[in-house]
Structure 1
């Protein structure tokens, strides 16, 4: 087999879709496979054990000696914030799972996740009286983008980085000026990661029904994108350097919020593949818009399938 699928233990498709995406990120895969453990499995702490089991899965996926593998031991090792292992009969949100997995892996081996997926957001307030800069920088592994009322990834990114004027009753207290002043507030990316993960916020709270729903509205995303306009430029960066990224993976959700299925589409550079649990097949990108942008079908009915997470790699 050229590529290996992963068995679904019940509703563990969210795990399978994430692990297949991470495996296809070459530098991250190699980092995991190159990890060595200086003690036996029974001596590993809970975070190291997750990394140990992930390495085993990546090893099987790399060897390509079977049609599909399984995640039984990984699920037993994977501990949530409450200290409980994965319940294979209860589906979890892929973003929630990915965040917890990254948290555990980074605790097991510092830099493992950061080196491939780590970026930095800069929350800034600029005093308009004396141009004083107040800044807080925070690391991130993914960026959540709004979908409601927005039709494209660039439009959503512009909203994400949109500036806000703080004035009148909302003036900002500038400690350098010693008084309240008009100020410009903004959020911007100060460091781009090698692999940029976007979460599309399709799960919303409906104020009319007081229930969470899934949005399948139209939202387009290109195969290649330049993100230079969203990156904070400073003296340590080449001002002429483009931030070109290529779409390398899509995690797709089909169905409703309470009843759905996840699978992955990946770009191997030579061809595109669909990983749907144990089934691996080639994918034609000519169908990308029809399959994953959401919106309406030919009968003007809402589509049930759309992209939920996007992974872009820096060119």
Structure 2
């Protein structure tokens, strides 16, 4: 057989739409769940960890994931047990894939979830009295803001660098300083203290439009690099969760690179196909996409002297807590304790921020050094780049009369004047 015929045969075989993997048969419209489950299944370290800790007597989700992964290795599997464990009541309601990725990881054992867990350190400095407050938090994913312009594509690497830039808060965003006893301008700084084995980036495509008073989806393209350099470590892209459609109706799929074959596959609920067109061409170091929502990078080499990620989790675990089930363990997004910055910092005895994940907050949201207001008014919808449910139509309407509206406006004004600025943004 001639070389030309061999080459043509090879090209045809590579372009055949066959797959070495199986899809998921799920109830209703739960593509948001299917996409993240396939990402977890195609993450070898995570798959092996849930199988090792898959004790049916445990309170974690590990053994249910282990059963699902065992079935996926042989045939198309069903997700009914996972849906029931996650208490998804309405399987026909569109949900957020990033939210359920975090939810699954928070329900896993510490051993299984540690590959996705990193540690951030925060420092807030009052620009008037120079008082500093330091805190730390674990995270599952890092939310990256996207620009409003559709002309220029957002570069993921630049957005990631901006996440760690020093941020100055002024004007309406001032923070309350306990030493000055008033709201002051401040600098907020974020540092990656413990790099996870898998870095998950959330592109904040769903944002609140203040002019139109509703959530919208940003459809412009993003430049996604093949590799990332973070905290002296190199990461390689191996999974992309895509969302096509609009805020009110869309569909999730996952494109994942196999750790076994090195090929890219598209996981679309029950259908799994090898990609005819790979994200990166020969010699290309990036690609452009208008649908990428979650980017997952795997660490390919460690920084010199880097410790295992489990050390960070151990520092935040209360004494006497067993590893199984992760009960009592500090969750990503918490402020597990305040780090004293030296003499004169004992006055920063304030409660920790509310229990929320990092992706639900701005970078200033996890700084625990600024005292919260005693009775904050109802916060506006969170601008965390995700989809949110509309308010219920059955909610009672208030302040129908002219006098009632005037009294309500006066009450809100008094609260705003008498309450210090909340230190975190919802």
Q: TM-score, normalised by structure 2?
A: 0.57
Residues 1-315 of structure 1 mapped to structure 2, 5 A cutoff: 2-37=20-55, 39=57, 47-48=59-60, 50-62=61-73, 64=74, 66=75, 68-79=76-87, 85-105=88-108, 109-113=109-113, 115-125=114-124, 134-149=133-148, 151-165=154-168, 184-228=187-231, 242-269=232-259, 270-283=262-275, 284-286=277-279, 293-294=289-290, 306-315=291-300
1:194 and 1:12 map into 2 onto residues whose CA distance is 28
1:6 and 1:38 map into 2 onto residues whose CA distance is 22
Which digits, 9 at most, give the CA deviation of each residue in 1:103-155, with x for residues without a partner? 222xxx23421x21010111113578999863211000111111124711122
The 3-state SS of whatever aligns with 1:87 is: coil
Q: Say whether the 8 Å CA contact 2:56–2:63 is kept in structure 1.
A: no
Which digits, 9 at most, give the CA deviation of each residue in 1:248-304, with x for residues without a partner? 10000011111100010011241111111111111222578999612xxxxxxxxxx
The 3-state SS of whatever aligns with 2:224 is: coil
1:168 and 1:291 map into 2 onto residues whose CA distance is 39
Which digits, 9 at most, give the CA deviation of each residue in 1:6-31, with x for residues without a partner? 12422111111000001111111000
Number of aligned residue pairs: give it: 271
Q: Indicate how the Cα distance of structure 1 residues 168 and 19 shifts in structure 2: closer, same or farther if over 3 A, else same.
A: closer
1:182 is displaced (CA, Å) by 8.7
Q: What do you get for the CA RMSD once the two structures are aligned?
A: 3.2
Q: Say whether the 8 Å CA contact 1:23–1:58 is kept in structure 2.
A: yes
Deviates further, 280-289 or 9-18: 280-289
The higher radius of gyration belongs to: 2
Q: Say whether the 8 Å CA contact 1:127–1:174 is kept in structure 2.
A: no
The 3-state SS of whatever aligns with 2:225 is: coil
1:164 and 1:78 map into 2 onto residues whose CA distance is 37
Higher strand share: 1
1:158 is displaced (CA, Å) by 2.4
In structure 1, the residue matched to 2:358 is none
Q: Indicate how the Cα distance of structure 1 residues 201 and 167 shifts in structure 2: closer, same or farther if over 3 A, else same.
A: closer
1:164 and 1:213 map into 2 onto residues whose CA distance is 25
Deviates further, 145-154 or 251-260: 145-154
2:299 and 2:143 map into 1 onto residues whose CA distance is 19
Could you list the runs of 5+ residues in structure 1 that have no partner in the other structure? 80-84, 229-241, 295-305
Q: Say whether the 8 Å CA contact 2:224–2:288 is kept in structure 1.
A: no
The 3-state SS of whatever aligns with 1:220 is: strand
1:183 is displaced (CA, Å) by 6.5
Q: Indicate how the Cα distance of structure 1 residues 127 and 19 shifts in structure 2: closer, same or farther if over 3 A, else same.
A: same
The 3-state SS of whatever aligns with 2:162 is: helix
Could you list the runs of 5+ residues in structure 2 that have no partner in the other structure? 1-18, 301-426
